Amino acid sequence: MEIELFVAIPPWLVEVTQAIAVITIFSGLCGALLGYAAVYFKVEGDPIVEQINAILPQTQCGQCGHPGCKPYAQAIANGEAINRCPPGGEAGIKSLANLLELDVIPLNEECGEESLPRVAFIIEEECIGCTKCIQACPVDAIVGTAKQMHTVIVSECTGCDLCVPPCPVDCIEMPFVETNLINWRQQKPIEQSIVLN
Amino acid sequence: MPKNFTSTATNKFHGGIHPPENKLISSSRAISKFDSDKYFRIQINQSSFQNIEQAVEIIVIKGQKVIQGEALTTFQPLDRLNVPVHSPCDGVVSDIELFDCAHNSSFPEMTIVIKAEINVDQNRSVTKIENQWKAKSQSSLINKIRKAGIVGLGGATFPTHIKQSSPLKTDISTPSTLIINAMECEPYITCDDRLLRGYANQIIQGALIVSKIVGCERIVFAIEDNKPEALFAVQESINLLAENKIDLSIIVAPTKYPSGGEKQLIQIVTGHELAKQQLPKDLNILVQNVATLFAVYQAIVLNSNLIGRLVTITGNLVDAPGNYWIPFGTSFSHIISQFNVPEKDLKFIIIGGPLMGQKISNFDISTSKKVNCLIFNKRVTNVEIKECIRCGECEAVCPIKLLPQQLYWFSKSEQWKPMEQLDLKACIECGACDYVCPSHIPLVDYFRFAKSEIKHLSSKEKTSELAKQRFDNRESRLTRIKLERKARQKKNALDRKQASENKSVDPDGKKTAILEALNRVKNKQNNTNKINTGITGEE
Amino acid sequence: MKNSPLINSEISTETRSTNQLMILVCAGLIPGAITQFYFFGWGILINLILCSSFAISAEALVLKIRSRSILATLKDNSALLTGLLLGLAIPPLLPWWMSFIGVYFAIIFAKHLYGGLGYNPFNPAMIGYVLLLISFPLAMTNWLPTQELLILKPNLIQSIELTFLGVTNELNNIALIRTMADGFTMATPLDHIRTSLSQGFMLSEILEPSEQNSSFSINSLSWIWVNVAYLVGGIYLLFLKIIRWHIPVSIIASMIIVSTILSIIDDQIYLSASDHLFYGASMIGVFFIATDPVSASTTQKGRLIFGALIGFTLIMIRTFGSYPDAFAFAVILLNIASPTIDHYFRPKVYGTKTTVKQIPEKQTPVKQIPIKQIQENKSDDDFKGLNNE
Ligand code: SF4
Ligand code: SF4
Ligand code: SF4
Ligand code: SF4
């Protein structure tokens, strides 16, 4: 009875079934292995937003169109272009592209230009103590209280420029950070072999 | 004193080179007289912490009369690094100005110009304190050394008082050792050699002083075998020493550059390598250069401040190469005229040795504590820089066992991460790799460049991390304030409502008054809590 | 300009420059080249001249295209060396256009497409050789037997004609010369041994001097002399410290070890170490090709591994592969591996040694500084890195 039934099945079907069974079992095993590996070797990484945020320069200037670097990091994670941060400049774009496996693109000029680092300076004689700049500063780098002279904590100022517009008496300047003996950097040696004919 | 206290070194370091010594040019002439200039330009910061902002206070004013050895600057007692500088002559402060001071960046530094005059009272009596030092406390000796302005005179100008301020422990099984560095491994330089030949007794005295300060069990005098006269002088003076408690021995090492580097010297003498985080003192070792020890002797025994040093003047353009006592602040142009160096052949001066030294083409710069040798050479034809052929010679000679060739590739392509993995930081910039490179690649320049970039990046990272924290704090503070304000408004509205309801039930207002009082107290408590959290939140 | 004063002080001229290194290596080839010339005739000389002039012209051409300074770069002599090596590796009387293709490919593709001297991952000469070997297997295995065995020895003019035209009036073509050699058809000894082995002969039969194979022993003797000459040149390089000992020594050692093991297994099938060392391109390969610094491993330990693997691969291909001599393949294969080798065989940087040597006097180990203490010393971190004084 059974044999008859067996014979009734065409041989090609048996082969195909066998093949399918083998492949299914094999792929099932592989899948299980991969799944296990994924759990076992799980790398506890920073969430992607944190990683992006770590690359952004934290100037918090808002030139990217976001109120600070973290929101922009969030936006990049959601698919926004990576070329909107002028303070980060080319190097920043490069490392973002590296992290997110994207192409390197030039800086979006609408956002601004990469410039040398600056630091805010309050002309203290002119300051009227209106506290407007304190409210604007994203990193609390200005100290002072109402009707008192204000001043910038140079080491904490990111040079974001945000305190300049609110000042009613225009007493905040943004000079470039001076190179001195401490932040001076060594020149790259010239490759002489590149000298053209 | 045991008879055979001299032994040959049994340990050696990896690699090393044998450049032509060129020492005979200057070592064959005894120390001779040098006619000083009228003007001296003293750089106010002459220790190796040039690029760390330190409060060096100038205590003279323009026009003030100063006497030889008078301190021109002072230091804050709290700040551990600075050492003062002193006037090299009797005279008048004629200027205090920024001037080029041979820093690699060519940024000017603050200098004090002194015009020599002989009209100041000459009858100063020098109070020799001779053997009194034995009775003095260690801290007072260290203070004296610091006040005398002593820094490492082997070229690194590291403040000596800091090195000596940590006493060597004797409980650890390594014997605490003072190593006297008389290797002088760089070509051309002979000032230590000549100093030893003339002043071996004083140097040994200086070593005894230092050994008292740091409390060490033994003193090892390390010298290369290319200075037999100096070695003899030291042996003589050790023989002269009266019975001594301390174990004083001499180690003669084969001539090999850079055996005078601190790490290499320790390796030669003890066979130990300093682990990455270690300083010599962790192995109970203090290394001092002979010129430094001589300065210590001068300061402690002769009571005189450091105002000059023995400088090797050498090179094929000098008419009388040799070693001279040159006061700090003497301008190079004065030296050029003193030694009849033909100006038209001289394109630059080399300060220090050809391997670790520095090239200077501004001749108005003056000598300072780091200048132990000046080389006036005719410019040789420029060698061409070729591509690296990966010959591996550089690796073979690197005393730190780095891979200069791979570091070079990474530095060229500005990849800093792999460079850090290859231990760029451990490079002592000895220039041995530079010397052997057949393609004449300026390897050390590349390493310096990479080091400075890496430093820059890490400082940038630090500031951005700080900014991030401050931004986050501010954000959270703002949202908290907003939430609180909202909550307060809600509550006030509720209170008002309740009050109006209560009024109807509580006609004489007693209940309301009690409630209000309670609320006030509660609010107050809440507020103080808020203020507290506010402060902690911001920090 | 170099910041460090080294380059401008006299002492920098004391060390050998790259240019000098390359020309000295070329000089080291002289004994081998003369011996080859003596045994194999004018063809060798023509090859050398052709290949080196092709190499120099190719280099000049590429430099022109890359708009680099031609004269300054040609002075480094690396192109000359490539040309000479290839000229010595290819069989005499090879048609000129084959040498042309080999050399131009070597210089343009194997060297300059990667960025020129110092950037090429492979030894250019060997790439050129392998290209020729794969493209023109017949011509490339057409080594003439030694002069002694030739009935008709081509003179200079005839050699030139053969190289450029393939025929001469008197001698017809090169194949004819080969067949007219006294009963001897196969090319190099290794080739001959290989063919005979595949025909079922025992090694003892092949190598034994007898009536039948007298021509073989004459021919193989000439190859032994050539190898000895290269050995002499190589020792001269070692003596002048132009090359370091690591690669040659490790190749030779591993060749000896591997072939000895094989011949212990069966000395009738597997050649002995001395045969391996003195037949074929062994010595020129060991001293002149594998030691090319650009494409070899650079660390000292790495070089030992690199050489050992070359020796191993060489014997393996010679014994089990389909080419009688395989120096080019072995070198190229290991060139591919050398970055990896370098990565894994870095020297231990100063201060990473975990065990501290003991001081002889007291024989007590240094106490490890406890972590707490290191942290306490943190404030002094600024002072490390000071090396002098
Ligand atoms: S543009 Fe300004 S706010 Fe935006 S990511 Fe860059 S630094 Fe941050
Ligand atoms: S002080 Fe001005 S420039 Fe500096 S961080 Fe604050 S807002 Fe920006
Ligand atoms: S300069 Fe640095 S890399 Fe070069 S040999 Fe000296 S320690 Fe090694
Ligand atoms: S010595 Fe010069 S050419 Fe040789 S590997 Fe080092 S860097 Fe390259």
In CATH, which superfamily holds the domain spanning A47-100? Answer: Electron transport complex subunit B, putative Fe-S cluster (1.10.15.40)
Q: Residue C115 pLDDT more than 50?
A: yes
Given the structure tokens 């049994």, which residue do they identify?
B10
CB contacts of A189 in chain C (<8 Å) are 2-3
Give phi and psi for B464, each to the nearest 5: -70, -30
**Contact criterion met (CB below 8 Å) for B350 and B313:** no
Kindly determine whether residue C2 and residue A189, on different chains, have CB atoms separated by under 8 Å.
yes
Of residues B80, B70, B144, B161, the one with CA closest to residue B114:
B70
Query: Does C357 reach chain B within 8 Å, measured CB to CB?
Result: yes
3-state SS, residue A116: coil
Distance from CA of A91 to the nearest CA of C (A): 25
pLDDT-above-70 percentage for chain B? 87
Q: Is ligand 3 within 6 A of the CB of residue B506?
A: no
Counts for chain B of helices (H) and strands (E), in that order: 14, 16
Within this chain, domains A47-100 and A117-180 share the same CATH topology: no
Which tens digits make up the pLDDT trace of C40-55?
888 899 999 999 999 9
Exposed, middle or buried: residue B507 (CB in 10 Å: 0-12, 13-18, 19+)? exposed
C241 sits in the region (left: phi over 0; alpha: psi -120 to 50; else beta) called left
Give me the long-range contacts of A89-95 (CB less than 8 A, separation at least 24): A89/A114, A90/A114, A92/A55, A92/A56, A92/A57, A95/A55
pLDDT tens sequence across B331-379: 999 999 989 888 888 888 888 888 888 888 888 899 988 899 999 887 7
Q: Which atom of ligand 2 is nearest to the CA of A164?
A: 2
The CA distance from C240 to the nearest CA of chain A, in Å, is: 27
* B508 interface with A at CB cutoff 8 Å: no
Please say whether the dihedral angle defined by the alpha carbons of residues B187, B191, B194 and B200, taken in this order, is positive or negative: negative
Residue B330: the pLDDT is 92
**CA-nearest residue, atom 3 of ligand 4:** B388
Name the H helices within B313-442: 332-338, 393-397, 404-412, 416-421, 432-436
Ligand 1 centre distance from Cα of residue A63 (Å) = 6
Helices (H), ranges, B125-214: 138-147, 160-164, 191-214
Burial (CB count <10 Å: 0-12, 13-18, 19+), residue B55: exposed
Lowest mean pLDDT, pick from A169-178, B396-405, C304-313: A169-178
Is B405 touching ligand 4 by the criterion CB < 6 Å?
A: yes
From residue C214, alpha-carbon distances to A118, B80, C179, C220, C228 in Å are: 88, 88, 16, 10, 21
Contacts of B466 in chain A (CB under 8 A): 156
What interface predicted TM-score (ipTM) does this complex get?
Answer: 0.79
Q: Is B321 on the interface with C (CB under 8 A)?
A: no
Residue B228 has pLDDT above 60, yes or no: yes
| Residue B250, strand partner residues | B6, B221
Q: Give the contacts of B311 (CB within 8 A, at least 6 positions apart).
A: B191, B323, B324, B325, B326, B367, B371, B372, B373, B374
Q: Does A138 sit in the ligand 1 pocket, CB within 6 Å?
A: no
Helices (H), B108-261: 138-147, 160-164, 191-214, 228-240
pLDDT reading at B98 higher than 50 = yes
- Asked whether the beta carbons of residue C70 and residue A197 sit closer than 8 angstroms, the reply is yes
| Chains touching C (3+ CB pairs < 8 Å) | A, B
What is the C-alpha to C-alpha distance for residues C156 and C151, in angstroms, rounded to an integer?
Answer: 16
CA C203 → CA C193, C200, C257, C269, distances in Å?
Answer: 8, 9, 19, 6
**CB neighbour list of residue A161: distance below 8 Å, 6 or more residues apart:** A61, A118, A120, A174
Confidence (pTM): 0.82
Whole-angstrom distance, CA of residue A33 vs CA of residue A29: 6
d(CA A12, CA A26): 21
Which of A182, A191, A193 is the best substitution to test chain C (most C C-beta atoms within 10 A)?
A: A193
pLDDT digits (tens, 9 = 90+) for C175-218: 666 655 555 555 677 877 877 787 777 777 777 766 666 777 77
Is the beta carbon of B404 within 6 A of some atom in ligand 3? Answer: yes
E strand or H helix at C322: none
Residue indicated by tokens 């590796």:
C89
Asked whether the beta carbons of B473 and B538 are under 8 A apart, the reply is yes
**Strand ranges (E), chain C:** 167-168, 172-173
pLDDT, tens digit, for every residue of A103-139? 888 888 888 888 888 888 888 888 888 888 888 888 8
d(CA C112, CA C105): 10
- Other C-beta atoms closer than 10 Å to the C-beta of C61 total 15
Type of residue found at B184:
E
Residue reference for tokens 């066992």 = B401
Q: pLDDT (tens digit, 9 = 90+) per residue, A50-103?
A: 888 888 888 888 888 888 888 899 888 888 888 888 888 888 888 888 888 888
Residue B388 Cβ contacting ligand 4 at under 6 Å: yes
**Nearest ligand (C-alpha, residue A118):** 2
Q: Say if ligand 4 is within 6 A of residue B385 CB.
A: no
Smallest Cβ–Cβ distance between A196 and the set C1, C3, C67 belongs to C67
Q: Residue B338 carries which DSSP code?
A: H
Once rounded to an integer, what is the mean pLDDT over residues B391-407? Answer: 90
Distance CA C378, CA B262 (A): 20
Is A169 exposed, middle or buried (CB count within 10 Å of its CB: 0-12, 13-18, 19+)?
exposed
- For residue B122, what pLDDT band results from cuts at 50, 70 and 90? low
Residue C326 neighbours by CB under 8 Å, 6+ apart: C313, C314, C317, C318
Q: Going by CATH, does the domain composed of A117-180 fall within 3.30.70.20? A: yes
Whether A127 contacts chain B with CB within 8 A? no
Task: Label residue B506 by pLDDT band (50, 70, 90).
Answer: low
Domain boundaries, chain A: 47-100, 117-180
Cβ <8 Å between A196 and C1: no
**SS3 for B84?**
coil
Percent of chain A at pLDDT > 70 equals 89
pLDDT at residue C301 is higher than 70: yes
Q: What type of residue sits at position C57? A: S
Could you give the CA distance from residue C293 to residue B395 in angstroms, rounded to a whole number?
13
Task: Tell me, using a 6 A CB cutoff, whether residue B444 lines ligand 3.
Answer: yes
Topology (CATH level 3) of domain B383-505: Fumarate Reductase Iron-sulfur Protein; Chain B, domain 2 (1.10.1060)
Name the helix (H) or strand (E) containing B71.
none
pLDDT bucket at C170, cuts 50 / 70 / 90:
low
**CATH superfamily, with its number, for domain B6-12+20-124+136-314:** NADH-ubiquinone oxidoreductase 51kDa subunit (3.40.50.11540)
**Average pLDDT for chain C:** 79
Determine what percent of chain C is predicted with pLDDT higher than 90. Answer: 33
For B25-67, what is each residue's pLDDT tens digit? 888 888 888 888 888 999 888 877 654 555 678 888 888 888 8
Average of per-residue pLDDT across C113-123: 87
Query: How many angstroms from the chain centroid is the CA of residue B371?
Result: 13
Contact A92, A112 (CB under 8 A): no
**Tens of pLDDT along C243-286?**
889 999 999 999 999 999 998 988 888 888 888 888 888 899 99
**Is A173:A120 a contact under the CB 8 Å cutoff?**
yes
Hey, is the C-beta of A195 within 8 angstroms of any chain B C-beta?
no
The residue-averaged pLDDT of A162-174 equals: 88
Task: State whether the beta carbon of B60 lies less than 6 angstroms from ligand 4.
Answer: no
Q: Which residues of B touch A193 (CB under 8 A)?
A: 385-387
* Contact (Cβ atoms closer than 8 angstroms) between residue C331 and residue C123: yes
| Contact yes or no for B377/B315 (Cβ under 8 A) | yes
With contact defined as beta carbons under 8 Å apart, do B283 and B265 qualify? no
- Report the distance separating Cα C226 and Cα A118, nearest Å: 71
Strand B373-375 relative to strand B308-314, pairing: parallel
Contact C69 A196 (CB under 8 A): yes
The pLDDT assigned to C361 comes to: 42
pLDDT band at residue C365 under the 50/70/90 scheme: very low
